[in-house]
Structure formats: C-alpha cells, structure tokens
Amino acid sequence: MLRIYFLQHWFALSDPATEAALYDTPAMRCFAQIDLGQEPVPDATTRCKFRHLLEENNLGVALFDAVAVYLEENSMKVSKGTIVDATIINAPTVTKNKTKLIHSVAATPAHVHDSQVMEDRLHGEKTRLFGDSALINQIYLKH
C-alpha cells in the first residue's frame, strides 16, 4: 500500500485513476509488487483509508522525506511526473519497398509541434519529407 501511495503522489493520480493506472501499467504494478495472477489491485476505498491513516498520524511528509534522503544518498531523485503510454503494436513487415536511408531524426519535447522542426529536416538536396498527417498538412499549407 505504501508503494501505491508513493505512485499516487508522484504522478498526481486520484484514487480511481491510480487503480486504472495499476491495471494498465506493468511498470507501476512491478513497483507496487502487485501480481494480478495472485491478487487484484487494492480498490480506491482501501487506498483512500490507507492515505487518511497516514495523514491522521502525520506520516506522509515524514515518509516522503525519508525516501528523498535515501534516494539522495544513492545518487537518485524522484519528482512528480507524467505517464506517457508508448504502446508497442505488431505491424506487418513491408518487403515490397526498397530500403531508404534515414539521414536525420528530431526528438522534441511534447510542447514542441512537429511542424516547428520541419524545415530543419529538409537540408542539402533533399526535396521529400515523410511524416504523419499533421506534418504533411504543414508542408502543403506552406507551399
């Protein structure tokens, strides 16, 4: 329950959102040491009662402080974060196309739209750019 409490705090999740995240996210279940083959995720009411018990006894802040000290001593730090679902899906291999050479890749933070780095991808004698529909629409709008 304590590990779940930490996850809920670090990712700013409500009780119902925490339950959903634990069912949906293997990494969270691993951290919380929950094996769905052996036990269900503790329900929102149980987690709420646990959180209130910690708060009534002023243990929440003390526990987070103790964890922060331990992590710092081990050259680690935890701060609040955002969960991004990068689900991997199977896709058929395309063998009819010739292999193309990728000359550049741009990785940007989530707040930077693909269109903001589009011009940087066309350099030298390159005249074609392949991307998702948002990127392709930007090309047509600019030309």
Please name which of 22, 74, 16 lies closest in space to residue 7, comparing C-alpha atoms: 22
Does residue 31 lie within any of the structural domains? yes
Does residue 80 lie within any of the structural domains? no
Give the pair of three-digit tokens for residue 36.
């769905």
Confidence of residue 99 (pLDDT cuts 50, 70, 90): low
Does residue 83 lie within any of the structural domains? no
pLDDT tens profile 1-57: 999 998 888 888 888 888 888 998 898 999 999 999 999 999 888 888 998 899 899
Both 6 and 69 in one domain: the answer is yes
Both 64 and 19 in one domain: the answer is yes
pLDDT over threshold 50, residue 143: no
Question: Domain boundary residue among 36, 58, 73?
Answer: 73
Range of 26's domain? 2-73
Give the pair of three-digit tokens for residue 109.
């933070």
Residues whose CB falls within 8 Å of the CB of residue 58, separated by 6 or more in sequence, listed in order: none
* Domain count for the chain: 2
pLDDT tens profile 121-131: 666 666 666 66
Both 69 and 18 in one domain: the answer is yes
